[in-house]
Amino acid sequence: MEVIKSRKITWRALGILVIFLLFIAGVFGRFVYIQAAKEVQDEDLNELIEQRWSQSHAIEAKRGSILDRDGNAIAEEVASYTMIAILHPDYSRPVTDPADTAGKIASVLDLDAAALEERLSRNDLYQVEIPGARYLTVEQRDEIEAMELDGIVFRKDPTRFYPNQMFASHILGYTERDMSEARMGLEASLDEYLSEEDGRITYQRDGQGRRLAGGEHSIEPAKDGYDVKLTLDHKIQMVLEQALTQVDEEYSPERMIGIVADPKTGEILAMSNRPSFNPNEYESITNYTNFAVSSRFEPGSTIKAFTLAAAIEEGVYNGDELYQSGTYQIGPDRIPDHNGGRGWGEITFDEGFQRSSNVAFSKLALEKLNPDKLFEYMDAFGFREPTGIDLPQEATSAIADFRPIDAATTAFGQGSAITPIQQIQAATAIANGGEMMKPYVLDSISDPETGDVIHQTEPELAGNPISEETAARVLELMETVVTESAGTGQPYAIDGFDIAGKTGTAQINNPDGPGRLTGHGNYIFSFMGMAPADDPEVVVYVAVDRPEIELHESGSVPVSKVFRPVMQQSLQYLNIMPQENREEEVSDAGEVLTDFTGDRPAEAAEVIENAALTPIVIGDSGKIVSQVPEPGSQILPGERVFLLTDTSDYTLPDFNGWSGRDVHAWANLAGLSVTAEGNGYVTEQSIEPGAEVTEGQQLLIELGYGEAGEEPAASEDEAVEQEETSEEADFEDEEDEEEDFFMD
């Protein structure tokens, strides 16, 4: 028994020894492997050390900004703050008085103090975010921090901000507040350029997390997004936005469209729609469509300008030729003139254009041009194809050309549907001596770090549909639409400027059944105008869809309330002087203005007064840094010369009796934004004379004739009320007579 027991003990001992030796061998083998291969369980040993003894932080990059043509940011990344309340007693300074803290916060952020107190009184959480206290501005944070409230801290969160709110919102689009996703507009279509790439810094640390002196470190630099510069003019866009908002509030139309363009280059200076939205409050958007680019509709009679151009270019237009207005029979269909088919008797084709006669343009299309030739010009003017403007979701047109009557209806603006931006492109051919320019809104894309321009848009010729001579003749006739007593465009006249233009009234398909909408105001009223008429520098298109107008009002009233201030102030901002001043300049060259930059204001003023001119000094200290008119300009006796000094605070003068042009000159130098209402000379100003103003302030001026001692040639009301001068005035009278055609 002892021998057996001894053997068992021996075998157990040997087993334990074998296991121990195998363990030692395994450890030794692993040690040798680590020494040779530097790997531990397939992980790099150096990587393990790095993870334990290194620290890494992200370097935040910024999303690129979107800028107007002058470099002002209209979409940018800014710092915002989220408020956090720390409630746990282990924190050095937790919230100790929830009621007092809630009351003070609510007074700044307009929150419910009772609900806030309840949230701050919770004892089951370490910290809480404050509802309604996200994306706070620097000013809001500073105001709350100044209260020195226990337990209230702030987390910095970058956010996308649109400083001008509704400004060009359908062009810009928007991103999520945290910029995690670009949703629409240029923010989405140019996201690859605007997007940023965060960097990272990595360094070695000690046991307390402190950076080791002389330790290794690496930096992956952050890459900010590119800046995008647009062709939009801040002042013109602002005027357009204000005019649209005013008309929207007064007439509550279904929608409105406004576009301002430079016909020499195709640059879009302003573009907006109603309904619009504030990109900072994108949750409340009701209209995502940029109607100026992404919607098509029958243009109405604005297209007659292009039919006229085609007939002149083909040599088949005789403006003195007589025709019988009223109605025109095309097989089973009858085309009436817009005054219930009554017409104006036997009139010339020139008068037919002024009165916007449908019969005149049906005859031009079918008897003078022929349908094939008309549609060739529709192609040449770009109405078949999208313009290719650098904005997303451009709509295509729908040109009806199946039957002979389609040529007639297309010629006067019905049956075919085109986009507003197509009309702007086509209008540049008339305004630019026959050269049609492709519209664009993107000026350049550049690196904000280096200033290197990675993309620059150059003006692009889109075609030559007509000759320079034809363009000049069309402009002459378009001017008579505004100036002649028979013209439908009289409400669009602007004192001091020659306007060439064409009115339009488009019917709308009945959304609830067959046929078209009828009744007073149930149309799309529009106007396409250019100025100065002899050599246009600005093209403005305005369309107002179904405004709520009084029975005594025509559709031209709301349209003109957008067109006139936008055109007038666009011309003033672009330093285009009124016609009477240009004529005086030609007849009397006047004085050649000296360069006063660098001079003392008092010395310069004395020189100006001695030349029988009126000096206006902006600022009361320093030296002159800028002037209007520019050095070398020819100026007539009595005119104002504006001198800007190198101070930042200015005293507002009494503008009473000044022209709008002079007020804009003063404001442009001082950096103020001006909105003018009316025509003539200043009668009221929103900021009192003598008040100190700084750059960026808003100034409203009212213009009239009471202080200047002059009377306008004709009041707007008189122009609007002239019998049968507006093509839309009598639509309600013709509903029954025209149904046999328009229901076709």
Active site residues: 301
Which residues, in sequence order, are CB contacts of 233 under 8 Å at separation 6+? 68, 69, 70, 260, 269, 270, 570, 573
Contact call for residues 293 and 416 (beta carbons, < 8 A): no
295, HSE (Cβ side, Cα atoms, 13 Å): 18
Distance of CA 280 to the CA centre of its chain: 15
Judge if the upstream peptide bond of residue 629 is cis by omega within 30 degrees of 0.
yes
Query: What are φ and ψ of residue 669, in 5° steps?
Result: -70, -40
741, HSE (Cβ side, Cα atoms, 13 Å): 26
Q: Which two tokens stand for residue 395?
A: 């709509």
Helices 113-120, 98-109: crossing angle, 10 deg rounding? 140
Task: Looking at 453-495, list the stretches that DSSP marks H as alpha helix, in order from N- to C-terminal side.
Answer: 468-483
* Helix (H) / strand (E) containing 564: helix 556-573
Q: SS3 string of 707-722?
A: CCCCCCCCCHHHHHHC
* Angle formed at CA 405 by CA 402 and CA 407, multiple of 5 degrees: 75
* Helix (H) / strand (E) containing 43: strand 43-44
Beta strands 640-645 and 614-618: pairing type? parallel
Question: Which residue do the tokens 């403005």 mark?
Answer: 540
What gap in Å lies between CA 507 and CA 229, rounded to an integer?
38
Q: Tell me if residue 294 falls in helix, strand or coil.
A: helix
What gap in Å lies between CA 300 and CA 536, rounded to an integer?
23
- How many C-beta atoms surround the C-beta of residue 39 within 10 A? 13
- How many C-beta atoms surround the C-beta of residue 744 within 10 A? 13
Q: Which amino acid is at 109?
A: L
Burial class (CB in 10 A: 0-12, 13-18, 19+), 591: middle
First to last CA, the chain: 123
Contact call for residues 134 and 280 (beta carbons, < 8 A): no
Contact call for residues 408 and 362 (beta carbons, < 8 A): yes
Q: Which two tokens stand for residue 455?
A: 């993309």
10, HSE (Cβ side, Cα atoms, 13 Å): 6
Q: Which two tokens stand for residue 197?
A: 């790439």
What gap in Å lies between CA 523 and CA 529, rounded to an integer?
19
Q: Tell me if residue 297 falls in helix, strand or coil.
A: strand
Beta strands 698-704 and 673-678: pairing type? parallel
